[in-house]
């Protein structure tokens, strides 16, 4: 089982920033980034803590509050965020088992989808916008790069 102890401090920071960054990328695609979306991300982490013991990597990942990286613009969030997500997955593929990598990818996509779904319009839950769906597809592509 792979956990925090298997990574350098810099590597672990990269792994930890992935899921909340995916949430930021999804939300930023449709004029977003509010308390509601941050709460949705925190809720996914809290729910994952309840499933403790099934995946050491995820247990260690969700042990702390998500650290949301700040970006200067939606474009920066997308370009830099997606690049960092791909780097995190490449690192995990070197150090973690396939099940752990798969769990990380699933968790990251869940964070993005739940953050996007947290948007509200006129007091009612809005469906995920086309821009947010496109962002989630880009996140998925970053998590599952095509072989070179």
| H-run or E-run covering 60 | helix 56-62
- Domain encompassing residue 58: 4-143
Full pLDDT tens readout for the chain, 148 residues: 899 999 999 999 999 999 999 999 998 887 655 677 788 888 899 998 888 777 899 999 999 888 888 888 889 989 999 999 999 999 999 999 999 999 999 999 999 999 888 865 444 445 788 888 999 999 999 999 776 5
pLDDT for the residue 127: 72
Q: Examine residue 75 and state whether it is found in any structural domain, yes or no.
A: yes
Count: domains in the chain? 1
Q: Examine residue 87 and state whether it is found in any structural domain, yes or no.
A: yes
pLDDT for the residue 33: 56
In terms of C-beta density within 10 A (0-12 exposed, 13-18 middle, 19 or more buried), how is residue 130 classed?
exposed
Q: Examine residue 148 and state whether it is found in any structural domain, yes or no.
A: no
Predicted model pTM: 0.89
Q: Examine residue 115 and state whether it is found in any structural domain, yes or no.
A: yes
């Amino acid at each position: 089982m792979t956990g925090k102890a298997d990574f350098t401090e810099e590597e672990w920071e990269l792994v930890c920033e992935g899921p909340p960054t995916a949430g930021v990328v999804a939300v930023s695609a449709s004029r977003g980034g509010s308390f509601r979306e941050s709460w949705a991300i925190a809720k996914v982490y809290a729910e994952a803590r309840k499933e403790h013991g099934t995946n050491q990597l995820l247990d260690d990942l969700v042990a702390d509050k998500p650290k949301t990286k700040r970006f200067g613009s939606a474009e920066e969030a997308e370009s830099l965020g997606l690049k960092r997500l791909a780097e995190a997955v490449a690192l995990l593929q070197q150090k973690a088992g396939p099940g752990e990598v798969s769990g990380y990818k699933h968790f990251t996509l869940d964070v993005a989808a739940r953050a996007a779904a947290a948007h509200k319009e006129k007091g009612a839950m809005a469906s995920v916008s086309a821009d947010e769906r496109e962002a989630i597809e880009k996140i998925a592509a970053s998590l599952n790069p095509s072989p070179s």
